[in-house]
């Protein structure tokens, strides 16, 4: 059976913490900030933790076979 390949698009967008949580950036924070309120831009600045079934799927796609 051939080796499973890492999904590069996911591995570039997500990061796994030391404890195994999957972190991602919030969408919509790159450009067009002029018409967004300051509080909205500040909220978009942090990172989110992917939870549940979606986190398991991301881990499998990022590092298959581990």
- What is the per-residue pLDDT for 21? 93
pLDDT (0 to 100) of residue 50? 95
**pLDDT the model gives residue 38:** 94
| Per-residue pLDDT, 66 | 61
Is residue 16 packed enough to be buried (19+ CB in 10 Å), middle (13-18) or exposed (0-12)?
A: middle
Give the pLDDT score at 65. 64
**Which residue matches tokens 């298959």?**
64
pLDDT along the chain (66 residues), means of 10: 85 92 92 94 92 92 76
Q: CATH assignment of 8-62?
A: 4.10.410.60
């Amino acid at each position: 059976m051939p080796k499973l390949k890492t999904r590069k698009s996911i591995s570039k967008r997500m990061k796994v913490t030391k404890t195994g949580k999957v972190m991602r950036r919030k969408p919509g924070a790159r450009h067009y900030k002029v018409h967004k309120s300051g509080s909205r831009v500040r909220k978009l600045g942090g990172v989110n933790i992917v939870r549940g079934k979606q986190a398991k799927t991301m881990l499998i796609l990022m590092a298959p076979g581990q």
